[in-house]
Structure 1
Amino acid sequence: MSTLLRALRRKILTPGVSATSLERRGFHKKNSDARDLLEMIGRTFLEGYGHAVGERSIADAEARLESVLRQFRGFAYEGAAMGATVLDALPGSGGRRLPALLSGQGRHHAYMAYVGVGWAMARLPRFLWPDVATTDPMLRWLVLDGYGFHQAYFHTERYVRGQFEGPGLAWGAEPASYHRHAVDQGIGRALWFVAGTDPERAADLIDAYPARRRPDLYSGTGLAATYAGGADEAELRHLAERSGPYRPQLLQGAAFAAEARERASLTVDHTRLATRVLCDMDPVQAAKLCSGTRPDVSAGGDVPAYEIWRRRIAEELVSRGRG
């Protein structure tokens, strides 16, 4: 494909950067620093998306992705995974871009990449969704997490202010009863963005949902507060206080974010701060806790290994006096 055609493909397939404006989204503006952070995350996501659909190969895209600032590089890979998934769904594409990303440098960003696949699913018709059999049996639930984030981010009135839950997604991952939990974890991450990184606003949004959904929502918010950042020490402590009985899930999300950044060698100061304040650990310790509690994915049963993992992390944090 010529350079001109690749540039045209990128222009046609890549969403406009104005879609990430807090003003356009109607999200809370805590202050200019928080606004700039969240909008930079959105721009970087779209930058990664553009590289995945516009470059000659995934190797060329990765060369661009690796030059993104460490603080934002994971979001670039998230966007790249969305772009690769969308491109793979097009007729004649061969479906090779996402596998190449996940087996290349993207393997270090697998958590973010699977979330990006969920973004693509939210934009594609169901018959073009990726085959669940090709996804990691442990991390595939992050795809539905990404789907939930997308829906809350772009359909905020319905999914956030209206607390819409929707039907279960016929995606094939078992057990189907867990689908809504994974989606809610993504909605919880999005609430950190909708709240403009304001913990009081985020907690108010979560507490408006039915109590049965709050554990997953607080988990997602804890992950976003730790991975994306935007809160100082006092705000993080307030978030922990507001989480009340859902504090173990909030801390689980924070530890999971530390694991994701450590795995990709992208740990930054705000991750260290959030992990210390919320989990009373440094990111290395939190990552080791996560890796040390990871269950055997082949066990089967009514509860997916991914959820067993999340519960083990939360229980371990509580047993150590963090929760």
Structure 2
Amino acid sequence: MDKLRQTLLSISLEEATFAKRGFQETNAKTQQHLETIGKTFLQGYQTAIAFNDPSGVIAQINQIEAEYRGFAFEGAAMGLALLDRLTPWNSRRIEQYLIDEGQNHIYMTYVGIGWLLARLPGGIQSYLTELEKAQVRSLGNWDICPTSPHSLTPSHPHSLLGWLSIDGYGFHQGYFHWRDYIQGIKPPKNLSGYSCRVFDQGLGRSLWFVKGADLNAIQQAIAQFQPHRRADLWSGIGLACGYAGGMENHAIASLKEAAKPYYPELAQGVAFAAKTRIRAGNLTEHTEIAAQILCGMSAQQAADITDDTLTGLSYGETVPVYEQWRQGIQKHFI
């Protein structure tokens, strides 16, 4: 049964190569780095499908180099969430994953779930329905997560962090269908209102890969989008720059000028990246450099801003708490 499951649900590592995806060629070092990220995500996914047990999956993933480990946790989340959907009589894998060490990767876990939503018929619509129902009233800070296990599952997403799966959905569509969503400027299907904006944040992250972390190509691609979409795309670029990396320091310095007037969104994305890596204990040199250049502070200081801004969020407002959080961070960079 294990072999059959792996055969039926397998995704080839070739799917993460620039040649297969048709991404813009870049220098060999950057291309290898970005391909390694994609392959590591798929390695995490394959590990989840093979082991079918959160503890065993985590043990395997922890053997991966720290710089890339978060991507494996993200991929494993997609795999475990898929298995939960396929076996409703045994659907607590993601819950157990987050009770265990996956808790330190909760950001990446929700993003990974977004990949699954892109591949399930009706997945994104049903998820949005559940997200709208989420009634979590408070979140003390980033390091305190909901105590109810049900608020940590795709079926019961958290009203703050649950938006990250929409980001993951946007990334997936840009990564696998860039000719439609990036080159063709196609609006997201089955989304409306604020979810379209979060989709664009993920789409911006995918641009980093599609354009080979090339500043000029990224800038030209974003310029083709309608003005109201550009701020969120630049936010995604900031997160990709800070978390994934792959751009030379001199080009990172030019990002700030290139992003104007969307610098606050760019810096907010970098701050998210800093917090995500620090929480997981896998801070990299490129994240530190991105924070210093684009945020004007250390990665730890940028991460602290994301924590401090959680205070005072209002879950009863018209503006989603996730957007309140983002706007609060952006105010530090105006």
Aligned twin of 1:269: 285
Aligned partners of 1:136 and 1:104: how far apart in 2? 18
Residues 313, 324 of structure 2: 8 Å contact kept: no
Aligned partners of 2:2 and 2:203: how far apart in 1? 33
Aligned partners of 1:31 and 1:284: how far apart in 2? 30
Residues 114, 140 of structure 1: 8 Å contact kept: yes
Please give the secondary structure, in 1, of the residue aligned with 2:161: coil
Aligned twin of 2:229: 213
Residues 188, 199 of structure 2: 8 Å contact kept: no
**Cα RMSD, aligned residues only:** 1.5
Aligned twin of 1:100: 96
1:126-145 to structure 2, matched below 5 A, reads: 126=122, 131-132=130-131, 133=134, 134-145=156-167
Aligned twin of 1:231: 247
1:129-168 to structure 2, matched below 5 A, reads: 131-132=130-131, 133=134, 134-168=156-190
Instruction: Pick from 195, 219, 226 the counterpart of residue 179 of structure 1.
Output: 195
Distance 1:83-1:282 versus aligned 2 partners, 3 A rule? same
Aligned twin of 1:203: 219
Instruction: Pick from 56, 59, 68 the counterpart of residue 55 of structure 2.
Output: 59
Aligned twin of 2:29: 33
> Gaps spanning 5+ residues in structure 1: where?
170-175, 319-323
Q: Percent identity?
A: 40
Instruction: Pick from 64, 71, 79 the counterpart of residue 75 of structure 1.
Output: 71
> Could you tell me the TM-score, scaled by structure 1's length?
0.92
Distance 1:299-1:127 versus aligned 2 partners, 3 A rule? closer
Residues 148, 183 of structure 1: 8 Å contact kept: yes
Give the C-alpha shift of residue 92 in structure 1: 4.7
Deviations 1:259-307 (A, max 9, x none): 1101111101110111111011111111101100114455322111110
Counterpart of 2:53 in structure 1: which amino acid?
A: S
Counterpart of 2:160 in structure 1: which amino acid?
A: M
Distance 1:143-1:127 versus aligned 2 partners, 3 A rule? closer
Is structure 2 residue 309 aligned with structure 1 residue 282? no
Aligned twin of 1:321: none
Aligned partners of 2:298 and 2:265: how far apart in 1? 18
Give the C-alpha shift of residue 56 in structure 1: 4.3
Counterpart of 1:136 in structure 2: which amino acid?
A: H
Is structure 2 residue 327 aligned with structure 1 residue 311? yes
Please give the secondary structure, in 1, of the residue aligned with 2:188: coil
Aligned twin of 2:307: 291
Deviations 1:56-89 (A, max 9, x none): 4110111011111110011001100111111111
Give the C-alpha shift of residue 239 in structure 1: 1.4
Residues 185, 219 of structure 1: 8 Å contact kept: yes
Is structure 2 residue 38 aligned with structure 1 residue 42? yes
Aligned partners of 1:76 and 1:91: how far apart in 2? 22
Counterpart of 1:14 in structure 2: which amino acid?
A: S
Aligned partners of 1:155 and 1:107: how far apart in 2? 30
Aligned partners of 1:202 and 1:240: how far apart in 2? 13
Residues 87, 93 of structure 1: 8 Å contact kept: no
Aligned partners of 2:42 and 2:112: how far apart in 1? 11
Aligned partners of 1:29 and 1:240: how far apart in 2? 23
Residues 41, 76 of structure 2: 8 Å contact kept: yes
Moved over 6 A (4+): none
> Gaps spanning 5+ residues in structure 2: where?
135-155
